[in-house]
């Protein structure tokens, strides 16, 4: 099946559907497993997180219960091309090429194995599935009403349009692309190290200045509230410009309250009338990953600009403490460790804290003028750290843009030159089509029609008496396949 209506390709390339490049797609099975990774001698079934981060992670699995029957054909092997069928919007369809792999690992029903034909490089295929072109198709065809888990059908995957170059060019593309990406990855690793050091510097600065508070009374945060804690409200996003502006978790994670970290929702205005933000509101993440649960930020924008979602808890303090001071204490290492210890959750991937955990947190309460001095000193120091972190974050975003640009060039024929001596991709497709046709012809069933029995003539008086025979069976004309 060809793909129509796509842009013009370089010589030797051809548009095809992904299904034309595959022998088949295999899916595994899922069943109740033990909530732990499989031991060296045990069988395990992979989680979607094994395919999420670009490289296959064999440790992301759950142990198969002893005595549970399964299909050995679902075992994963080195060289397999795997893809997550179900995941969040950003990671559904994430592909990996399995490298060194422990034995006794099985596909789940949320993982697919792609078996490419011999005119497709596996490494080229995996890089293409990570490209912006492929991601547009995956995200546009993944079903599901909740962004937390989207599903990609095999049929939608087979329909994906692919710009196929000659096999020799696929190999050249992979070599050039991986050389460039390895350099980019090294640069990103340096940026991540810089960001980690910047966060460590910020934490150390915060701890050093808070030490200056000295021996002062401490109080439960619950006794310093100006009004009860409030959870936010989450509603479906809308493109209607009259929707209710609602924060994303990212606003608190990054401490960046801008339009980019909001969405318009269909929230009922009456229901959320008490959730509009005012300057000085402290927001705490009640659910996130173990590293981010309890992340805190203070809103300093205009009153009534947005509401906050259900995964955030709003803290409004009384006049004994400054909201800026309380925010700094919550952001300190002690605050982070406290919330991590109070978080609960069976899966562990999205642990939660409740309002009681926030109320039980203890806050030093010096005089207000001391709080003001500490806040001013910390602002100056943390602003310097923040500027460094901002530049590092901007560099990482540029690296993401550069990665996408490299992938775009690779799959539009702009990364390496074409070689007129390469066998055009269409030749391989034509050969496959001919082989399919021959196979179908060889397997075509032959129709056989049973003969009708002869109709006997009427008996004559001169005929000899007939010999006795068995009762004739009912003759039925029928067709059947050999």
- Please count the residues of the chain: 482
pLDDT in tens, 399-424: 999 999 999 999 999 999 999 999 99
- Given pLDDT bands bounded at 50, 70 and 90, which one contains residue 148? low
Handedness of CA 382, 383, 388, 390 (dihedral sign): positive
Q: Average pLDDT for residues 191-210, to the nearest whole number?
A: 80
pLDDT in tens, 273-291: 999 999 999 999 999 888 8
Domain 14-166 sits in CATH 3.90.220.20: yes
Question: Mind giving me the DSSP string for 77-110?
Answer: -TT-EEEESEE-TTTTT-EEE--S--SSEE--TT
∠ CA(102), CA(108), CA(114), 5° rounding?
A: 80
* Residue 381 vs residues 29, 208, 387: alpha-carbon distances, Å: 54, 11, 10
Phi, psi values for residue 198, rounded to 5°: -65, -40
For the chain, give percent helix, strand, coil, nearest 5.
40, 15, 45
CA distance 245 to 259: 9
Assign 113 to helix, strand or coil.
Answer: strand
CA distance 257 to 397: 18
pLDDT in tens, 96-127: 999 989 999 999 999 999 999 999 999 999 99
- Given pLDDT bands bounded at 50, 70 and 90, which one contains residue 132? very high
CA-wise closest residue to 279 among 298, 259, 300: 300
Average pLDDT of every residue of the chain: 87
Domain 14-166 identical in fold to domain 217-365 = yes
CA-wise closest residue to 358 among 321, 325, 317: 317
**Residue-level pLDDT at 213:** 79
CA-wise closest residue to 419 among 200, 166, 212: 166
CA distance 150 to 200: 36
Every domain of the chain and the residues it spans: 14-166, 167-213+369-422, 217-365
- Given pLDDT bands bounded at 50, 70 and 90, which one contains residue 349? low
Cβ atoms of 361 and 338 closer than 8 Å: yes
Report percent pLDDT > 70 for the chain. Answer: 89
Query: Which H/E stretch holds residue 447?
Result: strand 447-449
What is the DSSP pairing of strand 105-106 with strand 44-46? parallel
pLDDT in tens, 86-95: 888 888 999 9
Q: Which residues of 148-182 are buried (b: 16+ CB within 10 A; e: fewer)?
A: eebebeeebbeebbbbbbbbebbebbbeebeebbe
Most confident range, picked from 201-215, 329-343, 425-439: 329-343
CA-wise closest residue to 109 among 84, 146, 138: 84
pTM attached to this predicted model: 0.67
Which architecture, in CATH terms, is 217-365?
Answer: Alpha-Beta Complex (3.90)
């Amino acid at each position: 099946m060809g793909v129509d209506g796509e842009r013009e390709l370089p010589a030797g390339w051809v548009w095809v559907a992904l299904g034309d490049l595959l022998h088949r797609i295999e899916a595994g099975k899922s069943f109740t497993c033990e909530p732990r990774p499989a031991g060296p001698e045990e069988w395990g079934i992979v989680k979607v997180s094994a395919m999420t981060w670009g490289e296959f992670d064999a440790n992301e699995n759950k142990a198969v219960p002893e005595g549970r029957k399964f299909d050995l054909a679902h075992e994963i092997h080195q060289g397999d091309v795997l893809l997550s069928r179900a995941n969040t919007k950003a990671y559904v369809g994430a592909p990996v090429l399995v490298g060194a792999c422990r034995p006794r690992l099985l596909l789940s029903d949320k993982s697919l194995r792609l078996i490419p034909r011999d005119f497709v490089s596996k490494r080229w295929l995996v890089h293409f599935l990570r490209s912006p072109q492929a991601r547009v198709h995956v995200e546009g065809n993944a079903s599901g009403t909740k962004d937390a888990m989207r599903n990609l059908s095999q049929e939608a995957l087979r329909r994906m349009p692919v710009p196929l170059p000659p096999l020799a060019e696929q190999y050249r593309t992979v070599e050039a692309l991986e050389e460039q990406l390895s350099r980019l990855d090294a640069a990103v690793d340096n940026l991540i190290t810089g960001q980690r050091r910047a966060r460590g510097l910020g934490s150390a600065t915060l701890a050093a200045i808070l030490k200056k508070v000295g021996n002062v009374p401490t109080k439960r945060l619950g006794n310093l509230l100006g009004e009860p804690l409030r959870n936010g409200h989450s509603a479906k996003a809308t493109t209607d410009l009259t929707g209710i502006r609602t924060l994303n978790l990212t606003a608190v994670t990054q401490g960046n309250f801008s339009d980019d970290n909001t969405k318009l929702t269909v929230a009922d205005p009456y229901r959320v009338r008490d959730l509009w933000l005012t300057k000085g509101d402290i927001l705490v993440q009640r659910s996130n990953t173990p590293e981010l649960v309890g992340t805190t930020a203070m809103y300093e924008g205009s009153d009534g600009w947005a509401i906050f979602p259900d995964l955030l808890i709003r803290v409004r303090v009384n006049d004994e403490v400054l909201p800026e001071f309380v925010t700094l204490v919550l952001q300190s290492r002690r605050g982070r460790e406290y919330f991590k210890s109070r978080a609960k959750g069976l899966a562990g991937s999205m642990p939660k804290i409740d309002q009681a955990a926030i109320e039980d947190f203890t806050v030093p309460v010096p005089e207000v003028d001391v709080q003001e001095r500490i806040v001013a000193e910390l602002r100056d120091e943390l602003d310097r750290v923040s500027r460094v972190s901002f530049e590092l974050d901007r560099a990482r975003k540029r690296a993401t843009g550069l990665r996408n640009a490299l992938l775009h060039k690779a799959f539009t024929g702009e990364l390496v030159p074409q070689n007129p001596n390469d066998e055009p991709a269409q030749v391989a497709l034509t050969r496959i089509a001919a082989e399919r046709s021959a196979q179908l012809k060889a397997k075509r069933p032959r129709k056989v029609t049973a003969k009708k029995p002869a109709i006997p003539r009427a008996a004559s008086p001169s005929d000899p008496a007939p010999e006795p025979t068995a009762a004739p069976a009912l003759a039925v004309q029928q067709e059947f396949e050999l």
